[in-house]
Structure 1
Amino acid sequence: MSTEEQTISSSTGADWAEALEAQQPGANGNAANAAPLNDIQRVLDIPVQLSVELGRKKVPIKQVLQLAQGSIVELDALAGDPMDVLVNGYLVAQGEVVVVNNKFGIRLTDVVTPSERLRRIHRA
């Protein structure tokens, strides 16, 4: 990536970060903040894929083809480790598993700031 592309990319990320931070409680309610707020309203109802990741492991295709009912796959995460919460594949939080009305849920213990989320997206 050229220096010019990096500058454009980072300035775009900064613009989005400023727009998100303007929406935080306690932000000034002046007219300059109204335009980004109106723009962000357009995307708030777009559905995204939220997933919770238990762990990962790279395996050869040969091992995948040998998987059968009852197979056990050892993952890289330790028992008791926080679970990763991903939105469209990007880490946004970590948390611990809970049970709510006989369904699994997750209690968030660490949330990535909006500006850091945008930085991570631009790096990808």
Structure 2
Amino acid sequence: MDNQDELRRQRRALKEEIEAADRSGAGAPGNDRAHEGFQATSAFQHAGARLQDRKPAAPDLEMVLDIPVRITLEVGGADMPIRELLQLHQGAIVELDRQAGEPLDVLVNGTLVARGEVVVVEDKLGIRLTEVVSAAERLQSLR
């Protein structure tokens, strides 16, 4: 923290020097303060270069590991007009846009992350992942 405090102090001092030089008309012919303004700007650029050279710390994933997310399995979907939707009754069959045996989509917070097949484990349904979606595909699905 001492290094960051020192950088903030230097940045603040340089900013004050630049503002003071601007107010006094630095850069005008015959003005002795023009050189001071140049020094402040040069020092400010040097500090900026030092900040750019710093390597960013590795991301701390520990902060996000306990955030709950919603996992959804999508069997398929269908488009239909409201008229047909209102005519559905118990026992009605809705044809989905997937073939039997096709993998299900695994969505995390609405984003496709994998595909898989349904399995039964001790009287509970589960999913066996058969394919994990690449990062490029995930990004494309967000667009």
Q: Same-fold call, TM > 0.5? A: yes
Contact in 1 for aligned 2:117/2:129 (Cα 8 Å): yes
The residue aligned with 2:66 is: 45
TM-score, normalised by the number of residues in structure 2: 0.56
Percent identity (aligned): 56
Distance 1:33 1:41, change over 3 A: farther
Larger RCO of the pair (alpha carbons < 8 Å, separation 6+): 1
The residue aligned with 1:119 is: 139
- Hey, which of these two has a bigger chunk of helix by percent? 2
Q: Structure 1: how far apart are the matches of 2:56 and 2:119?
A: 38
- Aligned ranges 1:94-113 → 2 under 5 Å: 94-113=115-134
Q: What CA deviation, in whole Å up to 9, does each residue of 1:56-102 have, x standing for no partner? A: 11111111111111111000100000111111111100011110001
> How many residues are matched?
89
Q: Structure 2: how far apart are the matches of 1:105 and 1:68?
A: 28
Contact in 1 for aligned 2:106/2:112 (Cα 8 Å): yes
- Any unmatched runs of 5+ in structure 2? 1-54
Q: Which runs of 4+ in 1 moved over 4 A?
A: none
The residue aligned with 2:101 is: 80
TM-score, normalised by the number of residues in structure 1: 0.63
- Any unmatched runs of 5+ in structure 1? 1-31
| Bigger Cα Rg | 2
Q: Structure 2: how far apart are the matches of 1:75 and 1:118?
A: 23
